[in-house]
Structure formats: C-alpha cells, structure tokens
Amino acid sequence: MRSPPPDSRDPGKRPGAAVTAGSSGSAALTLRALGAGVKRLVAGRKVQNRLTIDGLPDGWTTLAPGRLYLVYGIAGTAAADALLFESACDVAARAVTLVLSAAREKPLARIEAREGARGLPACLNVVTLQRGKPTADGASDAAAGREGAPRALARLFGALRALKRFGFRRGSIFFVEGAEQWFSWDRPDDLAYEGRVLANWCETRNITLVLLAGSVAPSANDASLDAEAAEEQLEHEARDPERDAFHSSCEGVARLQHTHGELLWHVDFWRSRSALAAGEVRALRFARAGHLMVAPEEDETDRLAQARIARDEMRVVATRAAVGDEPWVPPEWEIVDGLLAALQAGLGARAASVVLDYTGSEQLEALCETVHTLRRTCGRALKIVLVERGQVLRHQFELLVLNLGANLVIGRDVPFSRMQSLMQSLRGQLNARPVAADYRAALAAALSDEVCGYLPVEGFVAHTLNVLGRGQLLNLPHVLVKVRLKPNVAHVDVLRQCRPTRNGDVVTADGAHLYVFLFACRLPDAQGSLARIFRLPVDSLAESTQLIAGAQLLPEVERLETEQRRLPNVDYSDLFAGQKPVSHGSARGLSQSEAHSAVQVPAALNRAQTTTRSPSPAALPPQPMPLVQAVAATTVSVSHAWPADFSAEEEAAAPAVHRRRAEPAAMPLRMREAV
C-alpha cells in the first residue's frame, strides 16, 4: 500500500498531524474539567462527619479527616457518654474505634446499656485501656524514665502501640476517653511537643482523633467529692495558659461542662474548612432518645417537650416517711427507708428528685448533712424536696435547709396530690441559691443559745451582737421590740408580766424603755409573739411600741451599748435570774443542756430571798451579777421564775409563797453611784 502523499501546505509533516495534536490537547482539558466536576459533586454529596449534638451549627462540631480535636469533659458522666457513644454511632467513616479508660466491668455495663437503647454499628470497635497499667507491648510509665517520671512521648507511643493491633486505616476515626493519660499532662513543654507529634501523625495517616480529657468522674458511692469543685477544676484545666501551645496543635478545642447545674457547650475555637468559630456557648439538654441537643427556644414546642436537663430528670427517690400512708404512689418512684438510704440512692444522680422527711428536731443534724451532701455532690440540677411529717419545721430551720441546698419545703398539711404538683413545678429548674461550705457552721448559726428571759444590759447587748454575727451566714431575721413605759409603771412590774418561753428570746430594761429581742422572728410575726410573751396587753403598759428589724437593728443595739457605758442601768438579775425556757427537744444533743452547773451565789442575794419586803436601792449589790451567774443560776429557788406552762388558773390555785415585791414608783429605780 502506498503511503498518502505529503501535504502540499507543509511538505515536512504528515497530513493531519496538526489536527491530531490539537484534538488530544482539548480532550485532555475536557477530561480534567470533567474529573474536577465529578470530585466536586462527590464531595458535595459526601456525608460530613461531626459530633452528635442536635441543633449546633456544623462549623462547631465538624470532624475533618486527618485532624486532631480536644474536648474537655468529665469522663464517665452521662453527658460525656452521650457525646462519645452517639458520635461514634453516627459518623460515616468505615472504621470507628471508641477507646474507654476505666475498669473492665464498667465499660461492659455501659456498652450493654447503650445496646439496649440503640444498636451499635458493626464497624464500631470498643477498646478499653487500663489506667496506670502497662500497655499490651510492655511499655509503662516506670520504664520510660530513670527518675520515675515518664519521658516525653512515652505514654503516647505506648497507647498508640496498644491500638496498633486494631489497625490504623486511612479515613478512620478514633474517640478517646481519658486522653490526659496519654500525655505528660502536668509538663507544658513536653505536652506541647507531644501535641505536635500527634497532629503530624494524624495528618500523615489521614486519621481523625477526638480526645476527651479532664478530671476523673466522681464515683456514684463517694460522697466526699464535690461536683462544683470538679467543674471548677475542669474549667481551670481548659483555661490554663500553659496548655495554649498544646491547643495550637488541635483543629478544635471545646468544653462539655456543667455550670451551676446546666450543661453547656463552650467552643474555645473550632476550624471548619475556611471558617473559624471562637468563644461560642450554647446550653444543652438531653433528648428522650438519650443524645444531646441544644436547649430549645420558648416557641419550639415540640423540642421543649423532649428536652431534659439530664437523662434521670424523671427519676424520683422518696423516703417511706415522706410518702406516709398514701394508698397510691406512682409506681416509678423509688421508696427507701430513712435518710441514709435516700443519700445512698441519690449519690450519682444529676437531675433526679429526692424527697426527704422531717419528723422532729432529733433528726435535724442528719437531715442537714444529707441535704448538704446531696447538693454538693450531685450539682445544681438535683431537686431536693423536704416534707414535714409530725412536727412543723421552724422558720430558722427552714432557712437553714434552704441555704444548705434544698429546693422546696412542703408543709405537713399539704395533700399528696398537691405535693406532686409542687414537685412537677421544679422540673427544668436549677438551684441558684448559694450553698454553705460547712453545714455544721450553718447549723450552729440556726440554733439559739440556751438563754431566755431577763439579762442585764451588758449581757443583753453581748448576746444580741453574738446572734447577729452568727446569723449573717443564713440571713436570719430578728426583731428588737422597744417598749416605752408609761410614767406610772415600774420596771419591775413590767418585767414580771414579761415571760419569754423560747430559747434566744431575751429582755432587758434601761431608764425609760423595755427591750425584747425575738430570735429568728419575722416582722409580721412580732405582734403575735409579744401577745404570747406578755401576760397583759402591751398597750396597757407602754406609751409606744417600736419594732426594729433589718438594717436598723444593729445601730439600735450599739446605741444601747453606748448609753450603758455612759450611765449604767439598774441590774435586776437578783429578781429574774431563774427564768427557764420551755424544752422543745434537742437536735441530736446539739443544743446545750438545760441543767446548768450551780454557781456560788453572793450572800447578799441569799439574804434577799429570805425577806418579803421590797429592797431599797442601797440593798442592791454594788456590782451587777456577771452574765454567767445570771444564766447559770437555775438551781437557786427564785419565786419569780415561773415555769413556761404555768397557767393563770394554776397560779391562783397554788399555795401562797413569799415573793419579793418592789414598790411602784414614778421614776425607775437606779443604782446609787459611789460617793
């Protein structure tokens, strides 16, 4: 066959050569453009891996291939488990590994619980790395350095070698719990170096690594751990500036943290393609399915019905005495025997409701300890309800348990159906009231001193200032009643009509006034307390009555103290030293004994008790009786020390006894000044 003749236009080239070259070049460009379009189409349709938190923007939770992410959280809590398990189940990677760091029995129980609620995918591997144990390849902290402290990368390489047997496939994702055990967590320089090495390792192998680091989760049976202290420690670790170099190796850093009982998602920074999110905070809730979700807005009715502060928000633990003899109790309620059983059942709860009972003052200390331990250990979302059974809780004790962490105190006459409604009203709320650091100090502030009745002005002022100082811890309300006496009424006669019967209620007198201090008394209740204290109407004895409370109380006491220094008032301790308060029971022996030790009574006081005539001012002791003797001399038989429950009819029927009397005078008696 003959070859085709050469082209006349170009004798040195074969025919069609130029056309063939141009066609192949344009075809290559066309194929390249088509491939780029297909890649863009596939990338657009490819499912983006992200952390499973419904409602958060993708830019805050995206997991890019070959990148390192760090999330601060308390391992083993319900929030951390929901984040790790749900994210591991929802990512679209072909190989997903969940690394748990805890005892072997506990991860198995957690896996079984998750499988019961939601089946785990077949591509998910669950691995357990023991804390403080040698790895599978024999690497350990002790062998990593001669001085006992592990060298840099020793723990990290040991953990990676232990996971090597499960395979490091390209495009896989690893979720690691307790990742602080992989690093030199307390040495910032080594930590920064390890972070750079691990980030390069992830990029080289195209493996995404999500680290959950932070404090160890409190044990459900340990009441000594403080939930708020753990949260503060976690926040301190996340904000530690010495870890900034380690954070720079990560593609994103966030915090899953409870703040005042509410679960929050703090985004320190999070890179997603060309976008960067920083300083973002969102409140989280638990959905009924168990995964995390952003707290819904008020207009999102459907999401509001599904949102819960914690997974155990519908759980109720109640003591048997709190339920009482109710014929029907909701079947989901857990009924326990006593405060100790309620404490053990409530430890480890996050937002459950614990219903306790108050049957009497003898269990007050145990009740305070239970309430305080539950609040400090379980956090702000726990609901603590106190129900009165038997005795009514006094006002100062109600303030006490509220300051120790209780959410609500329900009266003893409230029906059971109403109690359920009140408990329902607490759902979704957080306890924002400050909690006392020591329940014993708060209990001491709520308990009154075992002193009642008349005190000289010096003792009255000292007692009142002491009570005001202690009561600041609980913000106890007190009332000082200032009674201006009529000119024709003697102080002694008024003091005879004044019979305080409650511990802490004391009375004194100066030149023209009678002062009554009502311990832990609210201002609206002061008039009723005065009606019970005085045998006669106060208006028949006084020209005016002034009720002093709040910020005006302390200046009035200080003014009385100043007047007493300038001109001492008459001391009536020899007449009214034996008043004894009514015994209302003791809080497990916390209150002082009513039987005080006997003191040596001055001879002048003994002589005064044997006569029925009124003493003159000269017969009074030259010095006032000390406060200790005025309070402690209960063994002396003084005729004006009536029992608190001695009625007027019993007094009239009682045999006549010799009583000391004071002659009414237009001016009050005063101590003679030394010449």
Q: What is the 3-state secondary structure (H, E, C) of 11-72?
A: CCCCCCHHHHHHHHHHHHHHHHHHHHHHHHHHHHHCCCCECCEECCCHHHCECCCCCEEEEE
* Residue ranges matching CATH 3.40.50.300 in the chain: 63-263
Mean pLDDT of 432-436: 87
Separation between Cα atoms, residue 187 and residue 209, nearest integer Å = 22
Which among 322, 344, 466, 309 is positioned nearest to 390, based on CA atoms? 322
For residue 586, give the nearest of 646, 647, 503 by alpha carbon: 503
Q: Is beta strand 275-286 parallel, antiparallel or unpaired with respect to 292-294?
A: antiparallel
Average pLDDT, the chain: 76
Please determine, for residue 137, whether its predicted confidence score (pLDDT) is greater than 50.
no
Distance CA 479, CA 502 (A): 14
More confident position, 297 or 16: 297
Q: Assign 170 to helix, strand or coil.
A: coil
The 10s digit of each residue's pLDDT in 140-155 is: 444 444 455 668 788 8
Sign of CA dihedral 483, 485, 486, 489: positive
Ranges in the chain annotated CATH 3.40.50.2300:
316-442
How far is the CA of 20 from the CAs of 15, 24, 259, 561, in angstroms?
Answer: 10, 6, 72, 116
Collapsing DSSP to helix, strand or coil, 425 comes out as helix
- pLDDT tens figures, 585-634: 444 334 433 333 332 333 333 333 333 333 333 333 444 433 333 333 33
Q: What is the DSSP letter of 536?
A: S
Percentage of the chain modeled with pLDDT above 70: 70
Cβ(353)–Cβ(420) under 8 Å?
no
Residue 464's Cα: distance from chain center in Å?
Answer: 31
The helix/strand/coil state of 623 is coil
Q: Give 80-128 pLDDT, tens digit per residue.
A: 888 998 898 888 887 889 998 765 456 666 776 665 555 677 778 888 8
- Rg (C-alpha) for the chain, rounded Å, is 39
Q: What is the pLDDT of residues 17-28, one digit of tens each?
A: 444 445 556 666
Q: How far is the C-alpha of 206 from the C-alpha of 237, rounded, in Å? A: 29
What pLDDT does 503 receive?
Answer: 87
Give percent of the chain above pLDDT 90: 29
**Among 479, 487, 483, which residue's Cα sits nearest to residue 495?**
483
Q: What is the pLDDT at residue 107?
A: 66
Q: How many C-alpha atoms does 354 have within 13 Å on its Cβ side?
A: 33
| CB-CB contact of 401 with 443 (8 Å) | no
Using an 8 Å Cβ cutoff, are 156 and 193 in contact? no
Q: Is 357 helix (H, G, I), strand (E, B) or coil?
A: strand
pLDDT for 32:
65
**Type of residue found at 384:** I
Average pLDDT over residues 521-539: 89
Question: What are the backbone dihedrals phi and psi of residue 62, each rounded to the nearest 5 degrees, phi first?
Answer: -65, 140
Q: Which long-range contacts (CB under 8 A, 24 or more apart) does 416-423 make?
A: 416/323, 416/324, 416/326, 419/385, 419/387, 420/330, 422/385, 423/316, 423/353, 423/355, 423/383, 423/385
Q: Which of 500, 645, 621 is nearest to 568 (CA)?
A: 621
* Position 342 confidence tier, pLDDT thresholds 50, 70, 90: very high
What was the pLDDT predicted at 340? 93
| CA separation for the pair 136, 121 (Å, rounded) | 26
Q: What tens digit of pLDDT does each residue of 41-58 get?
A: 444 445 678 899 988 888
Which residues, 6+ apart, have CB-to-CB distance to 381 below 8 Å?
258, 261, 262, 309, 310, 313, 350, 351, 430, 431
Instruction: Count the neighbouring beta carbons within 10 Å of the beta carbon of residue 293.
Output: 21
Question: Does residue 352 sit in helix, strand or coil?
Answer: coil
2 — pLDDT class (breaks 50, 70, 90): very low
Q: What is the architecture of the domain spanning 316-442?
A: 3-Layer(aba) Sandwich (3.40)
Helix (H, G, I), strand (E, B) or coil at 363: helix
Residue 393 to residues 357, 405, 631, 653, Cα–Cα distance (Å): 11, 16, 27, 36
Q: Nearest CA to 668 among 485, 454, 404, 463? A: 485
Residue 327's alpha-carbon distances to 315, 364, 422, in angstroms, are 20, 28, 19
Instruction: Look at 61-65, 191-195, 633-637, 647-651 and tell me which has the smallest mean pLDDT.
Output: 633-637
User: Which tokens sit at 13?
Assistant: 């080239």
Structure tokens at 377: 């250990």
pLDDT in tens, 544-573: 899 999 889 999 999 999 999 998 888 888
Question: Is it the case that residue 195 has pLDDT exceeding 60?
Answer: yes
Distance of alpha carbon 128 from alpha carbon 110, whole angstroms: 12
pLDDT of 518 strictly over 50: yes
Superfamily of domain 63-263, CATH level 4: P-loop containing nucleotide triphosphate hydrolases (3.40.50.300)
| Planar angle of CA 350, 351, 355, nearest 5 degrees | 110
Residues found in the chain: 675
